[in-house]
Amino acid sequence: MVLHGLFVTFVCATLIYVLERIIHRRVYKAEKQFDGPPGYWFFGNSFDFINKSSKEIFDQVVENLKTYGNGRFYKIRIMHRLGIACSDHRDMEVILGSNTLIDKGVHYHFILPWIGFGPLTSNGSRWRKHRKIITPTFHFKILEQFIDVFNKNGAIMCEKMEKEVNGEPFNVYNYVNLAALDNIFESAMGINMNVQKNSETTYVRAIKEMCNVVNKRVFWWILRIYPIFRLSKYYKMQTDALNVLHSTTVNIIEQRKKELAVRKKLEKDDEKDEEIEFYQKKRMAFLDLLLESAEASNISDEDIRQEVDTFMFEGHDTISSGLSFALWALANNPDVQQKVYEEQMEIFGDSNRPPTFNDLQNMKYLERTLKESQRLFPSVPMITRKLNEDVDLPGGYHLPKGTNVGMIIYSLHRDPKVWPNPEKFDPDNFTPDAIQGRNPYSYVPFSAGPRNCIGQKFAMLEMKSTVSKVVRQYKLLPSPYEKHKLQLTSELVLMSLSGVHVKIQRRSNSFS
């Protein structure tokens, strides 16, 4: 009886395996073209990431790119789903440069409960429609009005950092994260939450909890199975966080709609009193601009909510990552920091005035420094696309429709075939001559092609303003402790599990 049962099980398993190979034969055929870690029969590489932390997975992906496929790409198969991890600019150009390969990969699904089908996650005609609507909101004339916001919140951050002067190394990420939140609240929603002065607000806690849930679902494959996720503690965390995040955004949208209606009525009545002057002088947030566009573009309140929540999601963690690693890089490269400081002195001299838009444009060396920081520490170290059509890569490689392509920006930016000394922090990698000699897809910290990051100019202005304020006031020094060595990982954005530690001294000509 036992033998009979084993025989039946063997026959059934064999039939399932044969049918699987027939139904998904294009996947298995494509898989043979690529090198990669060995898989297990029917399951492929399904077990490669079990019980591994985000850092272990990140390190494994980076190491596999060096081990397999001559540093260009390697394959991963989960059951019948084929995935390719690549770090070569030739492949990036094919995927990112396409006007049709714009569908985001499966990992973005776990953000949907928060931001819905906003500009980050939507595809096809919906994405094109919304991209067209929001693009004018990032015109430089509109971005210029946010410089005062960056300057104000940067000054608050430096004031908060004052207690660290001449002290032990501290995690600078904690400071820049709260400043970035204040900046995105004011620029996206037009409200001042004073996060830096009250870091334990309900909304801030909800953001942290939601990001934690998304990270867990990205890296813990068991939580990707919805019925199991539904029974886990993370489902309640997500539900509670979303109640706060969505209700806050909806309430603010309603408030801003009423203010917009009042302003329009006053303008229509051609009134010239204090009330209309108040509304005319009030800074226009991205939300206000979306509300104005909504009337002409038939955008629902839910669509607007998704757009604003996307701004909140993308506009604080990415910039927090970028700023913290930029300050760490300056602390650990004193020669570069000195050049950045000298440029600040050339622009401001003995004045303690905040930078203007034109001042920020003139910070050429600081811009090169920030670009180099994004090369070594890209805020988004990997992005994915799910192919909606068959694709041919250079060299005769063929990818079938449905393949998930992971583009490992972190490894792309350290490709020794492109960068002369890839591990060295060198802002001269971004002189005009150096840029001219490289394929543009060799450096994509804000992605590239039609789905490039629409907020990259906003991000650069914010980082320039903040770093300018810090460098003019403080001298940054590295931490001497081994425990503070960077432990990089990808948790939606690039993070260091050990923190991003620096020390600071007040400059002799500081105006604090």
pLDDT digits (tens, 9 = 90+) for 457-504: 999 999 999 999 999 999 999 999 999 999 999 878 999 999 999 999
Backbone angles phi, psi at 18, to 5 degrees: -65, -45
Q: What is the pLDDT of residue 278?
A: 44
- Model confidence band, residue 373 (pLDDT cutoffs 50, 70, 90): very high
For residue 279, pLDDT over 50 is answered with no
User: Which parts are annotated binding residues?
Assistant: 453
- Model confidence band, residue 512 (pLDDT cutoffs 50, 70, 90): very low
Region 318-328 average pLDDT: 96
Mean pLDDT, the chain, whole residue set: 85
Region 246-254 average pLDDT: 88
* Distance of alpha carbon 480 from alpha carbon 294, whole angstroms: 53
Region 350-374 average pLDDT: 96
Q: Would you give the DSSP letter of residue 390?
A: -
Cα→Cα distances 486→113, 167, 178, 324, Å: 32, 20, 21, 12
397-399 vs 391-393, strand pairing mode: antiparallel
Percent of the residues in the chain that have a pLDDT greater than 90, as a whole number: 46
* Distance of alpha carbon 292 from alpha carbon 277, whole angstroms: 19
Region 378-404 average pLDDT: 91
Name the residue with higher pLDDT: 50 or 247: 247
Q: What is the pLDDT of residue 6?
A: 59
Domain boundaries, the chain: 2-506
The count of other CB atoms within 10 Å of the CB of residue 138 is 16
To the nearest 10°, report the CA torsion of 151, 353, 347, 174. Answer: -30
- Joined tokens for residue 243: 């109640």
Name the residue with higher pLDDT: 435 or 286: 435
For residue 509, pLDDT over 70 is answered with no
CATH number for the domain formed by residue range(s) 2-506: 1.10.630.10
Region 396-408 average pLDDT: 91
Q: Which of 197, 194, 198 is nearest to 182 (CA)?
A: 194
For residue 322, pLDDT over 60 is answered with yes
Q: Give per-residue pLDDT as tens, 130-183.
A: 677 677 666 667 788 889 999 999 999 999 999 999 999 999 999 999 999 999
For residue 273, pLDDT over 70 is answered with no
User: Which parts are annotated binding residues for heme?
Assistant: 453
Q: What is the pLDDT of residue 360?
A: 96
Q: What is the pLDDT of residue 87?
A: 94
pTM for the whole thing?
Answer: 0.88
